[in-house]
């Protein structure tokens, strides 16, 4: 069953008197538990698409169904509720609270969702149980990103959206983070969508959406995606 259906989405931004078309008739579907990678050059519309899926921006035209609900028809308060309950965000720069330790950074979202996991469970899932008392300043980039993934997952969201999650990490650490995100999709049946410049991860995705100048260039599906540790970087 399709969890996400994006139908003929257009997004225009108004810049002064000029209109910039960031997305131009974009359509695709994603199933629950799929690990999807969105690839495309700078300025092609990847973040715009992710922001629309996350209820952080509105379409100009078209429809976006998430579990049969058309979020393009939602008002601001419905979108706020949708973001709070249904979406886990992972960003390039972690957005952790510096005065809280790893455990507390995850715990703050523990009771938001309907069937949230515990902060301890999620820190264990990302391999950080031993370091849960550490504050962000004492953690490496890869560890910080693992805390932010644990935080994104803790409220048990329907959808995990990641914008360049390895952009600030070295290649080896980046591969571990991608491996974790793939595991979250395949072992926890989470629908994970990752925007990245890194085309090397494509063979490990269930679905690859290639975007160029606001248009879908190609959608590639892999029935047996490579395990992330078999990907050549």
Ligand X SMILES: Nc1ncnc2c1ncn2[C@@H]1O[C@H](COP(=O)(O)OP(=O)(O)OP(=O)(O)O)[C@@H](O)[C@H]1O
Binding site for ligand X (CB under 6 A): 13, 15, 20, 22, 40, 42-48
67 DSSP β-pair partners: none
Q: Rg for the chain (alpha carbons), in Å? A: 17
Backbone angles phi, psi at 142, to 5 degrees: -65, -40
State which residue, 42 or 114, has the beta carbon closest to ligand X.
42
Nearer to ligand X among residue 125 and residue 205 (C-beta): 205
Closest distance to ligand X from the beta carbon of 15 (Å):
5
Residue 42 or 99: which CB sits closer to ligand X?
A: 42
Alpha helices in 4-65 (DSSP H): 46-53
Decide if 28 contacts 89 (C-beta within 8 A): no
Q: Closer CB to ligand X, residue 55 or residue 113?
A: 55
CA–CA gap between residue 58 and residue 74 (Å, rounded):
9
Q: How far is the CB of 20 from ligand X (least distance, A)?
A: 5
- The least CB distance from residue 210 to ligand X, in Å, is 12
Nearer to ligand X by Cβ, of 132 and 207: the residue is 207
C-alpha span between 23 and 160 (Å, rounded): 21
Instruction: Record the tokens describing residue 69, joined without a space.
Output: 């609900």
- Rounded to the nearest 5 degrees, what angle is found at the Cα of 173, between the Cα atoms of 193 and 179? 40
Least separation in angstroms between residue 201's CB and ligand X is 15
* Shortest separation between residue 163's beta carbon and ligand X, angstroms: 8
Nearest to 162, CA basis, from 122, 200, 190: 190
């Amino acid at each position: 069953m399709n969890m996400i259906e994006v139908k003929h989405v257009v997004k225009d931004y108004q810049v002064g008197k000029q209109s910039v078309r960031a997305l131009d008739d974009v359509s695709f579907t994603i199933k629950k538990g799929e690990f999807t990678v969105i690839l495309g050059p700078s300025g092609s519309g990847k973040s715009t698409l992710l922001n629309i899926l996350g209820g952080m921006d509105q379409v100009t035209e078209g429809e976006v169904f998430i579990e049969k609900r058309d979020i393009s028809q939602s008002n601001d308060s419905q979108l706020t509720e949708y973001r709070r309950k249904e979406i886990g965000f992972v960003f390039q720069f972690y957005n952790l609270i510096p005065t809280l330790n790893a455990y507390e950074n995850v715990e703050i979202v523990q009771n938001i969702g309907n069937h949230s996991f515990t902060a301890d469970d999620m820190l264990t899932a990302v391999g950080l149980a031993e370091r849960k008392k550490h504050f962000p300043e004492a953690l490496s980039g890869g560890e910080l990103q693992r805390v932010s993934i644990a935080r994104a997952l803790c409220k048990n969201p329907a959808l995990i959206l990641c914008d360049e999650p390895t952009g600030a990490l070295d290649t080896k650490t980046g591969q571990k983070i991608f491996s974790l995100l793939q595991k979250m999709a395949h072992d926890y049946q989470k629908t994970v969508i990752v925007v990245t410049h890194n085309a090397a991860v494509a063979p490990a995705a269930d679905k690859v959406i290639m975007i160029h100048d606001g248009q879908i260039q190609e959608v590639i599906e892999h029935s047996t995606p490579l395990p992330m540790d078999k990907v050549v970087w």
